[in-house]
Amino acid sequence: MSFWQFLQLNWSELLLLVRQHIVLVFIAILVAVIIGVPTGIALTRYRALRGPVLGLANVMQTIPSLALFGFLIPLPFIGGIGSRTALVALVLYSLLPIIRNTVTGILGVEPSVREAAVAMGMTDGQVLRQVELPLAMGVIVTGIRVATVIAVGVTTIAAAVGAGGLGVYIFRGLRQYDNNLLLAGALSAALLALAADFFLGLVERRFSFEAKRSRSATWKVASVAGAAGVLLLILGGFALWRSGAGPGSSAQARVVIGSKDFTESALLAEILAQMLETRGVSVERRFELGGNLPHEALVGGTLDLYPEYTGTSFTAILHHAPISDPRAVYEQVKQEYANKFKVEVSQPLGFENTFAILVRGEEARRLNLKTISDAAPQAPRWRAGFGQDFMSRADGYPGFSRAYGLKFAEVREMDLSLTYIALSSRQVDLIAGNSTEGRIATLDLVQLIDDRHYFPPYEAVYLVRQDSLARVPALQAVLSKLANGISTEEMRRLNYEIDGNKRDPKEVVKQWIAGKTW
Amino acid sequence: MPQRSTQGTKKSENDLVQFHNVSFSLPGTQIISDLNLTVEQGETLVLLGESGCGKTTTLKLVNRLLTPTSGEVLVEGKPTTSWDPIALRRRIGYVIQEGGLFPHFTIARNVGLVPALSGWEQARTRERVRELLTLVGLDPNRFAERYPRELSGGQRQRVGVARALAADPPLLLLDEPFGALDPLTRASLQREFADLTKRLGKTAILVTHDVREALTLGNRIGLMHKGQLVLLEPPDQFLASGNPQARAYIETLEVAGGNR
What is the SS3 string spanning chain B? CHHHHHCHHHHHHHEEEEEEEEEEEECCEEEEEEEEEEEECCCEEEEECCCCCCHHHHHHHHCCCCCCCEEEEEECCEECCCCCHHHHHHCEEEEEHHHHCCCCCCHHHHHCHHHHHCCCCHHHHHHHHHHHHHHCCCCHHHHCCCCHHHCCHHHHHHHHHHHHHCCCCCEEEEECCCCCCCHHHHHHHHHHHHHHHHHHCCEEEEEECCHHHHHHHCCEEEEEECCEEEEEECHHHHHHCCCHHHHHHHHHHHHHHHHC
Which three-class secondary structure state does DSSP give residue A284?
strand
Same domain, A393 and A473: no
Task: Examine the fold and report which residue of A448, A481, A504 is the final residue of a domain before the chain moves on.
Answer: A448
A72 and A60 together in one domain: yes
Inform me whether the pLDDT recorded for A10 exceeds 60: yes
Q: Which residues of B touch A115 (CB under 8 A)?
A: 65, 96, 100
User: Chain B partners of A110 at a C-beta cutoff of 8 Å?
Assistant: 103
Residue A120 and residue B63: Cβ atoms within 8 Å?
no
> Hey, which residues does A386 pair with through a beta bridge?
A413
- Average pLDDT rounded to a whole number, residues A324-345: 92
**Per-residue pLDDT at A219 exceeds 60:** no
Of B89, B102, B114, the CB nearest to A113: B102
pLDDT of amino acid B18 = 92
The CATH number that applies at residue A423 is: 3.40.190.120
Share of chain A above pLDDT 70, in %: 89
Q: Number of A to B CB contacts under 8 A, please give it.
A: 67
Over residues A381-425, the pLDDT tens digits come to 999 999 877 887 777 888 899 989 999 998 888 777 778 888 988
Inspect the interface and report whether the beta carbons of B90 and A121 lie closer than 8 Å: yes
Using a CB-CB cut-off of 8 Å, the residues of chain A touching B85 are 121
**Helix (H, G, I), strand (E, B), or coil: what is residue A287?**
strand
Query: Residue A451, SS3?
Result: coil
Tell me the Cα Rg of chain B. Answer: 19
The domain boundary, picked from A224, A244, A264, lies at A244
pLDDT higher than threshold 60 for residue B249: yes
Window from A3-17, A21-35, B140-154 with minimum mean pLDDT = A3-17
| B117 closest CB neighbour out of A113, A121, A218 | A121
Compute the mean pLDDT over every residue in chain B, rounded to the nearest whole number.
86
Contact B103 A117 (CB under 8 A): no
Q: Exposure of A89 by Cβ count < 10 A (0-12 exposed, 13-18 middle, 19+ buried)?
A: buried
CA separation for the pair A102, B14 (Å, rounded): 47
Cβ pair A484, A351 in contact under 8 A = no
Q: Could you tell me if B75 lies within 8 Å of chain A, comparing CB atoms? A: no
* Distance to chain A for B176, nearest Cα, Å: 13
| A225 pLDDT tier (thresholds 50, 70, 90) | low
A36, part of any domain: yes
Q: Are strands B44-48 and A282-289 parallel, antiparallel or unpaired?
A: unpaired
Instruction: Examine the pLDDT at B109 and tell me if it is beyond 90.
Output: yes
Identify the closest residue of chain B to A133 by CA–CA distance. Answer: B104
Chain-chain contact of A120 with B89 (C-beta, under 8 angstroms) = yes
Residue A274 lies in a domain: yes
A163-194 pLDDT per residue, tens: 888 988 888 777 666 788 888 999 999 999 99
pLDDT at residue A463 in the model: 95
Q: Which domain holds residue A376?
A: 355-448
Whole-angstrom distance, CA of residue B69 vs CA of residue A387: 72
Determine what percent of chain A is predicted with pLDDT higher than 90: 40
pLDDT in tens, B119-158: 899 999 999 999 989 988 899 999 999 999 999 888 998 8
Say which CATH number the domain at A183 has: 1.10.3720.10
CA distance A36 to chain B (A): 24
Are residue A487 and residue A416 in the same domain, yes or no?
no
Whether residue A295 is contained in a domain is answered as yes
Residue A518 has pLDDT above 90, yes or no: no
Average pLDDT across chain A, whole number: 85
Q: Are B102 and A213 inside 8 Å of each other by CB?
A: no
pLDDT at A40: 94
Q: How many separate domains does chain A show?
A: 3
What is the DSSP-derived secondary structure letter of residue A246? S
Confidence label for B3 from pLDDT (cuts 50, 70 and 90):
very low
* Closest Cα in chain A to B118: A121
Residues of A in contact with B102 (CB under 8 A): 113, 116-117, 130-131
Range of A204-213, B12-21, B197-206 with top mean pLDDT: B197-206
Same domain, residue pair A414 and A465 = no
Bridge partners (DSSP) listed for residue B207: B47, B175
Rg (CA), chain A: 27
Query: Which string of b and e fits A394-427 if b means at least 16 CB within 10 Å?
Result: ebbbebbbebbebebeebbebebbbbbbbbbeee
Mean pLDDT of A368-375: 93
Predicted confidence at residue A176, as pLDDT, reads 64
B147: distance to nearest CA of chain A, Å? 8
What's residue A245's pLDDT?
A: 41
The answer to whether position A193 is within a domain reads yes
pLDDT at A98: 95
Q: How much is the pLDDT for A398? A: 86
pLDDT exceeds 60 at position B35: yes
Q: Band of the pLDDT at A242, cuts 50, 70, 90?
A: very low
Residue A66 lies in a domain: yes
Report pLDDT for A222.
60
pLDDT beyond 90 at A454: no
Residues A158 and A233 in one domain: yes
Three-state DSSP class for residue A127: helix
Residue B61, chain A, CB below 8 Å: the answer is no
Pair (A311, A202) in one structural domain? no
User: Which domain-ending residue is among A220, A244, A268?
Assistant: A244
CB atoms B94 and A131 under 8 Å: no
Grade residue B8 by pLDDT with cuts at 50, 70 and 90.
Answer: very low
Q: How far is B131 from chain A (nearest CA, A)?
A: 19
Do A336 and A483 share a domain, yes or no? yes
Mark yes or no for CB contact A118/B89 under 8 Å. yes
B86 shares contact with chain A (CB less than 8 Å): yes
Q: Could you tell me if residue A453 is inside a domain?
A: no
Between CA A315 and CA A298 the distance in angstroms is 18
- In chain B, residues with a C-beta closer than 8 Å to the C-beta of A132 are none
Asked if residue B118 lies in contact with residue B171, where contact means CB atoms within 8 angstroms, the answer is: no
Confidence (pLDDT) at A246: 40
Same domain for A325 and A298?
yes
Q: With bands split at pLDDT 50, 70 and 90, how would you rate the model's confidence at B111?
A: very high
Strands in B203-208's sheet, in edge-to-edge order, are B92-96, B171-175, B203-208, B44-48, B220-225, B228-233
Tell me: do A209 and A188 sit in the same domain: yes
Of A137-151, A241-255, A288-302, A459-473, the range with the lowest mean pLDDT is A241-255
3-state secondary structure A162-192: CCCCCHHHHHHHHHHCCHHHHHHHHHHHHHH
Local confidence band at A437 (pLDDT 50, 70, 90 cut-offs): confident
- Please determine, for residue A243, whether its predicted confidence score (pLDDT) is greater than 60: no
Distance from CA of B90 to the nearest CA of A (A): 5
User: Which residues of chain A are within 8 Å of residue B109 when distances are taken between CB atoms?
Assistant: 218
- A193 and A331 share a domain? no
| Claim to verify: residue A329 and residue A182 sit in the same structural domain | no
Residue A249 lies in a domain: no
Q: What is the pLDDT of residue B52?
A: 85
Contact B94 A209 (CB under 8 A): no
Residue A218 — very low, low, confident or very high, per pLDDT cuts 50/70/90? Answer: low
- The chain B residue lying nearest A137, using CA atoms, is B104
My answer on whether A239 and A270 are in the same domain is no
CATH number, residue A271: 3.40.190.10
Say if A202 falls within a structural domain.
yes
Q: Measured between beta carbons, which residues in chain B are less than 8 angstroms from residue A210?
A: 103, 149
